[in-house]
Chains A and B, each alone.
Chain A
Amino acid sequence: MLLIHCPYCDDTLPELEFAYAGEAHIARPADPSKLSDEEWRDFLFIRSNPRGLHAERWRHINGCGRFFNALRDTVSDRFLTTYPAGHPRPDVTKLEAAE
């Protein structure tokens, strides 16, 4: 069972307290009516599904209830970092250099 750091609670807690919520940094378009069918399809369904580092959303559903973002390696399942919703994706090279 993973341990996940909630950036709001600032605590590292068991996976049981959290729920996965899909890929991060896919903002809902401000005016969907302006999107072509193809653009809207991409927003709805097309995901990066990388082997390796993945920016994704989690919710501390059985805790503070807040959504946040995480960088996780999909091969090792290791979390590199978690950060509040709305913050930009952190620079990975800096994170790895700090290790």
Chain B
Amino acid sequence: MNPFRIKGRGRVNQDRPVRFTFDGKTFVGFEGDTVASALLANGEHLMGRGFKYHRPRGVVTAGSEEPNALIGTTRGPGRFEPNTRATMQEIYDELSTESQNKWPTLKFDVGAINDRLYMLFSAGFYYKTFMWPKSFWDKVYEPFIRRAAGLGRAPTELDPDHYASRYLHCDVLIVGSGPSGLAAALTAARSGASVVVVDEQSEMGGALLSEPSVDIDGDNAWGWLATTLDELASLPNVRLMSRTTAIGYYHQNMVGLCQKLTDHLSDVPVDAPRERLWRVRAGQVILAQGAIERPMVFDGNDRPGVMMAGAAQTFLHRFGVKVGDRPLILTSHDSAWHTAFDLADAGCKVAAIVDTRTDIPPALMHAAMARNIETLTGHTATATSGRLRVKSIRVNPVRGGAVGAARTIPCDAVLMCGGWTPSLHLFSHTKGSLDWDAKAKAYLPGHKTEAVHIAGAGRGLWGIAAVLEDGAKAGADALRDLGRKAGAATYAVTGDRTGAGITQKELPTDRSPGSAKAFVDFQNDVTAKDIRLAVREGMRSIEHVKRYTTNGMATDQGKLSNMNGLTIASDALGKDIPQVGLTTFRPPYTPTTFGALAGYHKGSHFEVTRKTPIDSWATEHDAAFEPVALWRRAWYFPKAGEDMHAAVNRECKATRQSLGMFDASTLGKIEVSGPDAVEFMNRMYTNPWTKLGVGRCRYGLLLGEDGFIRDDGVIGRMRDDLFHVTTTTGGAARVLNMMEDYLQTEWPDLQVWLTSTTEEWATIAINGPNARKLLAPLVEGQDMSDEAFPHMSVAECKVAGFSSRLFRISFTGELGYEVNVPARHGRALWEKLMEAGKPYDICPYGTETMHVLRAEKGYIIIGQDTDGTVTPEDAGIGWAIGKAKPDFVGKRSLSRPDIVAKGRKQLIGLLTDNPKDVLIEGAQIVLDPKQPKPMKMIGHVTSSYWSEALGRSIAMAVVEGGFDRMGDTLHIPTADGGSQAAKVTGCVFYDPAGDRLKVE
């Protein structure tokens, strides 16, 4: 069934076969397999195509660092994910997977022609192609770049899964559950500290899963692992989390974790979250993430079957899979020799061990000889052959720098090891320094910025005994830093495999290096030649080399390629590696779903929806809604058969002719109280407040210190020491913040208190000639006559039995009132007014009608007719400035040179020559529509509506020197190439004398 599976070997359950598909073909693996291990067990190495040249690619690693074996997975309807690592996706029955970057099939791909066009796509081609003839763009480069610009294909359906998120606090967080992580966990856990251990793999154990030959404390490695995990799991202060990736290390020991919960299950519990994002705040963090094996850089090193020696060891021991029958080892580190021995002992015919070094430990040479394995030391590899799978490798001796005669060795796998790179990505996230260690030939952790300890192979240590001891010490160090006492346990290890190796550039060759396809970055298809070309073309900083070649910029962030790229670049630059420097790793450690990051914040939970107390009534009466800031507001109330236009016309007409009612509860409201309230108001707002009597209200204008309009609203004086301030719907929080800022930090001596009361009040606006007739019979405690309660009055009284703050104000130009009642009575009052308004055909209206009615009167809306660069004079409301006041926020700026200069954009009215033309809001305005493009734009339309009352369109606009253009004709070009003409007017289109406010 599995020709490359060894019966009885590995940790997969060979009694539980699992069926899944890859590119439509059914494969059988076992419970515990990944897609990669199951395909390898079936002899399939070819798992994808390269990104740029579409060369056939096989799996290279056994972990999350995998650059090649990226697959699309389908876990049911709508559950498609591209770029999943075949080495990380566990198989289950019915899992469907597909290869990427191929057309029409993985084995025959048309795009592989790019491989022949190699010269076109070398380093910097993205930049160079921009200079080529335009005619090449549409047909050649753009289609190519578009196709090459992404890996895999994006899902087309909405993600039906949901994602959870949680916070967690612990004393010690340990990232990595290999021997050093477990030793650290034991030390920390036994002290009683709260400990969290996370590992991205489906099971814990790290390197021990691939290295079962050692004995620890008299038990074999897997026995010790089971005992250790049992002990940790039994402790109440320990949380073990597998399938959990530490994706980012943020300030003050916050680590983000992404826990995969269901991607490995065939039967997903209903409503189970797919992933959970954890934000862990840890007292101490221990990074025990091990090391990542480096590829060898030589011509043809990307052929399927060429892979990491350590990966072959993992597939053998953990999954019971031989990656080939006749593997060849190509190495510069001792560790791969043990892979050769283990494969030979498992029944493989090892073709040879080729080592670039000449000085090999005698014990390894003896062990190879004992197994009858040919050893070629001081050798280089110069080519491979085989179309979809490696068939042979070409090797040459190197003596005194000269490459000797080639020899071709048949093999079905090449297992390479160019040394090991400590995995310090998370440490790099903290801006901890990485210092070059000449002895370890690696960057090792230097200066730390967080409460973090690095243990094991991450510090360049090698061998199980060394990393166990180091992990235990890291655990003890963390406890010490927490102020706890602990002794580090010691471990007796036998059968340990220690070793060392060297770091090197691309391997020497007897052929033309210019034609070698010696890959450094498999995922972004960057070769050694590309890096040397970048240096030749003037790139000096490693950051520039990286961007010019895109080395290390793929989704694996160069986990395999960075050190090789750096070594080659430093050689090309003639500098030592530490002088060339390192690029920076950034979160996330591995690609993370948007779902995990968004968590609960999707759909209706994406942001808060604020609803007024009258929202439920509007819903029941079929209102159309629109979002305004976080509020949901009734937009218009269509009757059967009405579109928006018809409904708004009807609402406008009803309000102007008789009576309209509007839910204005979203208006921001702030109570300004205290003995110095009037002084505070004088300083904040442009208007004078001292002489405003109790029971009177006034339009207030708020500027920034830069002199530009920030907010406005009607402000009532309830008592000498109490103002009822209203703000725009969207501006309430900003205005309160600004007021608090001045009060707390500039004028702390003022005795003033600020209280947000937006949601305490429901506000109902009643407008129209019959407004007083409706209200007067319902009001107790206030004479409603024009003499006793004139325009711009406010009173505390009862309306329909509810305590209220009643304003006589108008945002429509009609006789108008705004009734504020405690929010809990808002709907009841609304319904009573609807009932009482029947004789006047009372008409509920929404925000659209409100906008039309106010625009007919030229009342501005902050943020629509202003944009943060508009002064009171620009907006034509200079009258709102208390010119006698010595100071207020923004006053000094009103005499700044640029503010008083000529030619500022000013708010004017526009009447189109064709009264039926309704201009588009935001449309640009020009003087001459026949001028050549790009035209000089002198302003834009800010508000534009059909006015039913006037039987024509109206608009407002900001135009350079607008006040001096009254009567001029301006032009508004349209998208279809035409243009609309309009005359400049004032902004008050309806009832300019304001007679309708005074209706009896």
Chain A residues near B (Cβ < 8 Å): 1-3, 19, 21, 27-28, 31-33, 35, 37, 40-41, 44, 57, 59, 61, 65-67, 76-78, 85-86
Known contacts: A61-B737, A65-B740, A76-B449. The answer to whether A33 contacts B887 by CB under 8 A is yes
Q: Chain A nearest CB: distance from B686 CB in Å?
A: 14
Q: Chain B nearest CB: distance from A5 CB in Å?
A: 11
Report the 6 A-B pairs with minimum CB-CB distance, sorted nearest first.
A32-B892, A3-B252, A85-B745, A67-B744, A28-B746, A2-B251
Interface string of B882-898 (1 = CB under 8 A from A): 00001100011100110
Interchain residue pairs with CB less than 8 A apart (7)? A19-B737, A21-B741, A31-B886, A33-B886, A40-B896, A61-B737, A67-B740
**Bound form: Cα–Cα A40–B887 in Å:** 14
From 865 to 902 in chain B, residues with beta carbon under 8 angstroms from any chain A beta carbon are 886-887, 891-893, 896-897
Most B-side CB within 10 Å, residue of A1, A32, A78, A85: A32
Contacts of A2 in B (CB 8 A): 251-252
Contact check: which of A37, A66, A77, A86 meets B897 at CB < 8 Å? A37
Given contacts A44-B893, A85-B744, list 8 more A-B pairs with CB under 8 A: A1-B251, A3-B281, A21-B741, A27-B746, A59-B740, A67-B740, A67-B745, A86-B748
* Contacting pair B745 A33 (CB below 8 A): no
Contact check: which of B281, B740, B745, B892 meets A40 at CB < 8 Å? B892
Closest-by-CB residue of B relative to A33 is B892
Known contacts: A1-B279, A33-B887, A76-B431. The answer to whether A57 contacts B745 by CB under 8 A is yes
Contacts of A66 in B (CB 8 A): 744
Interface string of B948-961 (1 = CB under 8 A from A): 00000000000000
* Contacting pair B706 A77 (CB below 8 A): no
Interface string of B736-755 (1 = CB under 8 A from A): 01001110111010000000
**B325 contacts the other chain (Cβ, under 8 Å)?**
no
Contacts of A41 in B (CB 8 A): 896
**Bound form: Cα–Cα A35–B737 in Å:** 26
Closest-by-CB residue of A relative to B704 is A44
Closest-by-CB residue of A relative to B887 is A32
Contacts of B250 in A (CB 8 A): 1
Q: Chain A nearest CB: distance from B448 CB in Å?
A: 12
Q: Chain A nearest CB: distance from B756 CB in Å?
A: 10
**Bound form: Cα–Cα A34–B251 in Å:** 45
* Contacting pair B449 A86 (CB below 8 A): no
Chain B residues near A (Cβ < 8 Å): 250-252, 254, 279, 281, 431, 449, 705-706, 737, 740-742, 744-746, 748, 886-887, 891-893, 896-897
Q: Chain A nearest CB: distance from B600 CB in Å?
A: 15
Contacts of A19 in B (CB 8 A): 737
Contacts of B893 in A (CB 8 A): 40, 44
* Contacting pair A31 B887 (CB below 8 A): yes
Closest-by-CB residue of A relative to B889 is A28
* Contacting pair A1 B892 (CB below 8 A): no
**Bound form: Cα–Cα A36–B6 in Å:** 87
**Bound form: Cα–Cα A33–B746 in Å:** 17
Closest-by-CB residue of A relative to B253 is A3
* Contacting pair A86 B745 (CB below 8 A): yes
**Bound form: Cα–Cα A59–B734 in Å:** 13
Contacts of B705 in A (CB 8 A): 28, 44
**Bound form: Cα–Cα A36–B897 in Å:** 11
Known contacts: A31-B887, A40-B893, A44-B893. The answer to whether A59 contacts B737 by CB under 8 A is yes
Contacts of B892 in A (CB 8 A): 32-33, 35, 40
**Bound form: Cα–Cα A66–B706 in Å:** 24
* Contacting pair B706 A44 (CB below 8 A): yes
**Bound form: Cα–Cα A31–B740 in Å:** 20
Q: Chain B nearest CB: distance from A87 CB in Å?
A: 11
Contacts of A21 in B (CB 8 A): 741
Q: Chain A nearest CB: distance from B166 CB in Å?
A: 14
Contacts of A40 in B (CB 8 A): 892-893, 896
**Bound form: Cα–Cα A11–B279 in Å:** 20
Q: Chain B nearest CB: distance from A77 CB in Å?
A: 6
Q: Chain A nearest CB: distance from B883 CB in Å?
A: 13
**Bound form: Cα–Cα A77–B281 in Å:** 17
* Contacting pair B251 A77 (CB below 8 A): yes
**Bound form: Cα–Cα A59–B431 in Å:** 27
**Bound form: Cα–Cα A21–B746 in Å:** 14
Contacts of A85 in B (CB 8 A): 744-745, 748
Closest-by-CB residue of A relative to B740 is A65
Contacts of A3 in B (CB 8 A): 251-252, 281
**Bound form: Cα–Cα A19–B706 in Å:** 21
**Bound form: Cα–Cα A14–B748 in Å:** 27
**Bound form: Cα–Cα A66–B748 in Å:** 12
Closest-by-CB residue of B relative to A75 is B431
**Bound form: Cα–Cα A33–B895 in Å:** 9
**Bound form: Cα–Cα A67–B279 in Å:** 27
**Bound form: Cα–Cα A58–B737 in Å:** 12
Closest-by-CB residue of B relative to A57 is B745
Closest-by-CB residue of A relative to B449 is A76
Closest-by-CB residue of B relative to A43 is B705
**Bound form: Cα–Cα A6–B891 in Å:** 33
**Bound form: Cα–Cα A31–B885 in Å:** 12
